[in-house]
Structure 1
Amino acid sequence: MNFEVVKRVRDAVSVPLVLHGASGISDADIKTAISLGIAKINIHTELCQAAMVAVKENQDQPFLHLEREVRKAVKERALGKN
């Protein structure tokens, strides 16, 4: 990430900043981005990857079990990004 660009944008506008495509960005860089004014972070790809791992690991289970495990995996991945 180019933090200087984030600073310039933050100083130039008066709206909350959103970081798109944050999947794969290190936790340290995300924390720095937040400290510079990023208010929303999109990690859709990373959440989908967690869901797919859960599907593969539980593909032979009944649907309700599979659904529960997918939700759990996505929640754990999202909570791990704080």
Structure 2
Amino acid sequence: MSASGRASIGLLKRGWHEIPDVMGSGVMALIGLGLGAISFHLYYNVKDGDNRRYKIEYTVIRHDDPRAEKVRKD
């Protein structure tokens, strides 16, 4: 292991002992950002989240277009 690797581990240990609330909240923030990115990908990109009910501009989709199956008729 290089010297900079040991220094960064030592810095994390020192931070955990001196300011545990800041270090803990930083870890929770990283977990929250990761879960948010995963849920955005699963619920928006995979399930066609861009299929808005009311669009700003008029769009014509032909019946043979693959996007026509995803159009909701609410």
Q: TM-score range by the shorter chain?
A: under 0.3
Q: Please identify which structure carries the higher strand content.
A: 1
Structure label with greater radius of gyration:
2
| Structure having greater relative contact order (Cα 8 Å, sep ≥ 6) | 1
After TM superposition, the score normalised by the length of structure 2 is 0.28
